[in-house]
Amino acid sequence: MGESDRYSDLKKQFKGTSNIFSPDGNALLSLFFINISFFLVLAFLKLGFTASNYSPSLFEKNILQWLVLPGNPSQFLTKPWTLITYMFCDVDIIRFIVNLIWLWVFGRILQSLYEEVKIIPVYLYGGIVAGITGLIVAYFFSGANKAPGLLIGANLPIVTIAAATTFMVPNFKIMQHLNGGISLWILFVIFIAITIASSGSGLHVAAIAGAIVTGFVYVFLLRKGIDAGAWMVKIYTKSGTWFAPKDQQTKIKKQVFYNTGNRLPFTKSQNITQKRVDEILDKISQKGYEYLSNEEKEILKKASESDDLK
């Protein structure tokens, strides 16, 4: 079996739990939601400045500069949060759309290879490491008081996603209807070439290199059994319960214990403690039913057939 055939039979899309950004827990859609939300807010604010006959520089000075990563390391120290916010901000409509296209292309493949929530830490680690790399280069090669450029937009974390995906399956075929398809590594090379060609300074090129290395290292660690993004995944999956109604567990219990279906009344089964059932229900609330072990699923099944719990 060829490699393209091997990966054409990949497991079905992992179904994540509901969260505050995506109702069905799709991590890729969550990234789309956040990026689009930031873009629309910035576009609205920029339009407001323009409609008020203010110069574009006022928008950049009063709004944008507080969100993008500055090329000046000393300025970064006064607003360290920009190491996160810059990777979700953009004001150029063409660049924004192109970034979303690349995110969709590589992100969909990555989600089909690993649990889809893995894309969250890959994205964030890529943006953070790329930003730090750019700041280090700016400090040592351009001087601490100079600003050779700034970082803005989702391009760098997308580079990390592309690198991680390519490292996993370099010969994965896309667009197979075109003479057998195009290998993923070729698309990756084209993507990186375009990204470097459109970069504005050496700072950007260094940041791109940092993003690529981050993608390779992340997948290397995963193959060694080290999940550097597990804590991010935990936060992401728990986000589904942040704004959940207080009676959520009550609803789950009613569904599990009172919807008897075709079960005969007074059917007995072994005793199961309420404490154990509550622990399993908490796990469902935080992560989702698919995270339960076979033993936990069996306990719920038996509990639903039981008249009472001890």
pLDDT digits (tens, 9 = 90+) for 175-220: 777 777 888 999 999 999 999 988 767 778 889 999 999 999 999 9
110 or 304, which is more confident: 110
Closest to 212 in 3D by CA, of 172, 166, 258:
166
pLDDT digits (tens, 9 = 90+) for 220-241: 998 888 888 888 878 877 765 5
31 or 4, which is more confident: 31
37 or 294, which is more confident: 37
- How does residue 75 score in pLDDT terms, banded at 50, 70 and 90? confident
Classify domain 3-236 at the CATH topology level.
Rhomboid-like fold (1.20.1540)
Closest to 135 in 3D by CA, of 123, 146, 121, 120:
146
The pLDDT > 90 percentage for the chain reads 33
Helices (H), 149-229: 155-168, 184-197, 202-223
Which helix (H) or strand (E) segment is 285 a member of?
A: helix 274-286
Which are the contacts of 58, defined by CB distance < 8 A and separation ≥ 6?
49
The whole-number pLDDT of residue 138 equals 83
Q: What are phi and psi of 187, to 5 degrees?
A: -60, -40
Q: Using an 8 Å Cβ cutoff, are 173 and 234 in contact?
A: no
Closest to 121 in 3D by CA, of 37, 204, 185, 30:
30
The whole-number pLDDT of residue 172 equals 85
The whole-number pLDDT of residue 2 equals 43
142 or 241, which is more confident: 142
Closest to 103 in 3D by CA, of 14, 23, 35, 37:
35
pLDDT digits (tens, 9 = 90+) for 86-102: 999 999 999 999 999 99
To the question of pTM greater than 0.75 for the whole model, the response is no
Query: Which two tokens mark 103?
Result: 């995110």
The whole-number pLDDT of residue 1 equals 42
121 has a pLDDT exceeding 70: yes
The whole-number pLDDT of residue 21 equals 44
The whole-number pLDDT of residue 13 equals 34
Count Cβ atoms below 10 Å from residue 300 Cβ, excluding itself.
Answer: 20
Give the integer Cα–Cα distance in Å for 141 and 73: 12
Q: Mean pLDDT in the chain? A: 77
117 or 163, which is more confident: 163
Which are the contacts of 232, defined by CB distance < 8 A and separation ≥ 6?
120, 121, 124
Which are the contacts of 289, defined by CB distance < 8 A and separation ≥ 6?
none
